[in-house]
Chains A and B, each alone.
Chain A
Amino acid sequence: MASVTTSISGQPGKPKLPRRRLMTRRSLSRLPTLAILTVVGLIMLFPTVWVLSTAFNNNGGIATGNILPTKPSLYNFREILNVVSSGEPVLRWLLNSIGVSIVAAIGVALIDSLAAFALARLQFRGSKVVFYVVVSSLMVPFIAVLLPQYLWFHWLGLLNSYGALILPYTANAFGVFLLYQFFLGIPRELQEATTVDGAGPFVMWYRLFVPLSIGITATLGLLTFMNVYNDYFWPLIATSTPNMRTVTVGLEIVAIGQYQTNFGALMALTVISVIPMLVVFVFAQRRLVEGIAMSGLAGV
């Protein structure tokens, strides 16, 4: 904060520039920024152009490093249809992915909101222990729990079910941490007003904290959705029948063989599979930014 204070108060007497001059200077100073953004933006688009060109190219599945398709066609998409007609339930994979991700996202948002509220706003014995155990669980590498998790689900008799595809994601320590940060930022005056009304903690959570945190909670939901949708290893080992696969696993089954990768089919199915997420994101991105902006995480 120190440097900020100096720069504000350091030159109190400096006269304000005329508005027009300021505007011109601003637009001029924006040019390098825009140039940088354009360059980076092109780099961001570059691989996607390749993905699209590979998906719409007909070259027998062997990859070209070309940016534009040499033989444009819908061949790869017809290949995917062939895969469907040969019995692989591609549509079911997509629906599985979408359904599982939505349920996990809603579950995480609800469960984590309740937990974060208790940790941030209620006084109880053991709160420190709970908090640290939850946060330190972020440090465990996924690879350490992959097989134990599998054996545990086997023991529970839940493998190859939607339960197996959803439940492991519900224990989302990051979400608790995120919402915890946000709840800490809610001013005490508001809570006290609610407490004076004689409301219990549940009413307070429901009436005050949930509405105030709807943005960040939606953000958490969206991030969870993407996370679950793109996960690979767990759905791979937790499912064993074609109907229970998710699309990320299906992608590998369809496109990656022992000695060859069918890049055309891989990219065609990728294009199909990212559409739901892109739609969600384009509509949600503003909300996402607002959501995090309101959280304590990004606070000044």
Chain B
Amino acid sequence: MSSLQPSQPALTDTGSGQYTGRGEAFPAKAGNGPASPVLAPHQAVGKNRRKRRLVDDLKAYAFLAPYLSVFILFTLVPVGFGIYVSLHKWSTTLGNQGFAGLSNYSTLIEGQGYYGSQFYQAMSNTVLFVIISVPLLWAIPTGLAYAVFRSPAKGLWRILFFYPSVFSVTAFGSAWSLLLATNGGSVNSILHTDIHWLTGVPMAWLSIDLATIWATMGFSFIIMYAAVTQVPRIILEAAEIDGARPFARFRYVILPLLRRASIVVIIIETIASFNLFAQDQIMTGGGPGYDTTTISMNIYNQAFSSFNIGGATAAAFLLAIVLAVIAFIQLRVSRRRA
């Protein structure tokens, strides 16, 4: 174990209360912006000071230049162009058909037409999935991380819980949909059940969740595991001597210490869950009925099957707004708890 204890002074707890090695948590930073100036112009004064500041700015932007150039070229420009498209009557095949103002947005919000009438259902399906899946996508890796930490053969378990990340979504989606097939799937035949894993709700959601957790939890697991290894040994041992039950120990001693890693995992999983598309498409095709049709499917169909890229990008930016609001609430809640 000790090899996993950081050797760098950067991360050792001095125990004096001056825990210098802690990075600021994302939420704590959120209000303050980028932190801790290093090259503060402490000696400079007056004109020199201004000049010095300019030099500092230039130096900093030199570091940022590679990132900012790719960021502008491959994120900002497409996003900006997407917003421009969403304000136009824009056919996927014929291109721009003229300015449309906010009508693409209002069509969706007012629920007009096929995609408008499907918009709220798809959005609420998506939110439902997020509500079901994010807690699981956090809790399962966290519990497993702690369990692995407390057991022998850690390397083996780590490989076991991470390795599905190597599968492409086509592969794992197909595999799970056949395993969970109602009449001939292995799961039902092993359990001797007749559960409609993919053709009934809420089972279909749980099945998609199961496949998603199976395939994507590796990353969250590794983060949570790494966080568990950072819990000072003295705390673990003290808790053990206390005679606290494993679950209680975990809940009241360990879990509060994993707060920062948890926030990262929860936000990443929230974003990923809002983007649910491919495994859903493969496993249930959005069914039964429309019950697992997500907003991403709705957007994709509108763009490439109904050739209305203007409406599709509008829906996508509405999704981005919902996502941003939820991420913001998560940050606020986690900060208040802190």
Binding site for B on A (CB under 8 A): 1, 3-4, 7-8, 11, 14, 16-17, 22, 26, 29-30, 32-34, 36-37, 40-41, 43-48, 50-51, 54, 63-67, 110-112, 114-115, 117-128, 130-134, 136-149, 151-152, 167-168, 170-171, 173-174, 176-177, 180-192, 195, 200-202, 204-205, 212, 223, 226, 230, 232, 248, 251-252, 256, 261, 263, 266-267, 270, 273-274, 277-278, 281-282, 285-286, 288-300
Most buried by A among B40, B168, B232, B260: B168
With an 8 A cutoff between CB atoms, is B157 at the interface? yes
Check B222 for interface membership: any CB of A closer than 8 A: yes
Question: Please, which residues of chain A bring their CB within 8 A of the CB of B92?
Answer: 147
Residues B20 and A189 in contact, CB atoms below 8 Å apart: yes
Q: Are B179 and A289 in contact (CB under 8 A)?
A: no
Q: Among A33, A140, A144, A291, which residue has the most Cβ atoms of chain B within 10 A?
A: A144
- Most chain B CB neighbours (cut-off 10 Å) among A120, A167, A212: A120
Contacts of B71 in A (CB 8 A): 134, 137, 171, 173
Interface segment among B97-105, B106-114, B319-327: the answer is B319-327
Whether the Cβ atoms of A125 and B36 lie closer than 8 Å is: no
Taking a contact as CB atoms under 8 Å apart, the answer to whether A30 and B241 are in contact is: no
B74 adjacent to A168 (CB under 8 Å) = yes
Contacts of A145 in B (CB 8 A): 75, 78-79, 82
Bound-state CA distance A291–B238 (Å) is 27
Main secondary structure of the interface of B (DSSP, over half): helix
B120 within 8 A of A: no
Cross-interface CB contact of B23 among A114, A117, A183, cutoff 8 Å:
A183
Contacting pair A251 B170 (CB below 8 A): yes
- Beta-carbon nearest neighbor of A181 in chain B: B23
| B166-196 near A? 1/0 per residue, CB < 8 Å | 1111111011101101001110011000000
Question: Are B309 and A289 touching (Cβ within 8 A)?
Answer: no
Would you give the shortest CB distance from B191 to chain A, in whole angstroms? Answer: 12
Q: Are B163 and A278 in contact (CB under 8 A)?
A: yes
Are A299 and B23 within 8 A (Cβ)? yes
Query: Scoring B residues 130 to 173 as 1 if CB is less than 8 Å from chain A, else 0, what string do you get?
Result: 00000000000000100110111001011111111111111110
Residues of B within 8 A of A137 (CB): 71, 75-76, 79
| Size class of the B contact interface (CB-based, 8 Å) | 35 or more
Interface string of B270-310 (1 = CB under 8 A from A): 01001101100000000000000000100110010000010
Task: Name B residues whose Cβ lies closer than 8 Å to a Cβ of A.
Answer: 3-4, 6, 8-11, 13, 20-26, 29, 33-41, 53, 56-57, 59-61, 63-64, 66-68, 70-71, 73-79, 81-82, 85, 92, 144, 147-148, 150-152, 155, 157-172, 174-176, 178-179, 181, 184-186, 189-190, 214, 219, 222-227, 229-232, 234-235, 238-242, 244, 246, 252-253, 256-257, 260-261, 264, 268, 271, 274-275, 277-278, 296, 299-300, 303, 309, 312-313, 316-317, 319-320, 323-324, 327
Interface of A is mostly: helix
Q: Contacts A123-B60, A145-B82, A151-B81; is A270 near B168 (CB within 8 Å)?
A: yes
Listed by A's residue number, 19 A-B pairs whose Cβ atoms lie within 8 Å are A50-B186, A120-B35, A122-B38, A122-B39, A125-B53, A136-B324, A181-B23, A184-B23, A251-B170, A251-B171, A263-B174, A267-B171, A281-B162, A281-B163, A285-B159, A288-B222, A290-B6, A296-B23, A299-B261
**Does B59 lie within 8 Å of A201, measured CB to CB?**
yes
**CA A199 – CA B76 in complex, angstroms?**
34
Q: Is the CB of B10 within 8 A of A191?
A: no
Alpha-carbon distance between A32 and B143 when the two chains are bound, in angstroms: 13
Question: Are the C-beta atoms of B33 and A293 separated by less than 8 Å?
Answer: no
Q: Are B63 and A282 in contact (CB under 8 A)?
A: no
Chain A nearest Cβ from B206, distance in angstroms: 14
Complex CA distance for A191 and B264, rounded to whole angstroms:
26
Q: List residues of chain A with CB within 8 A of the CB of B230.
A: 293, 298-300
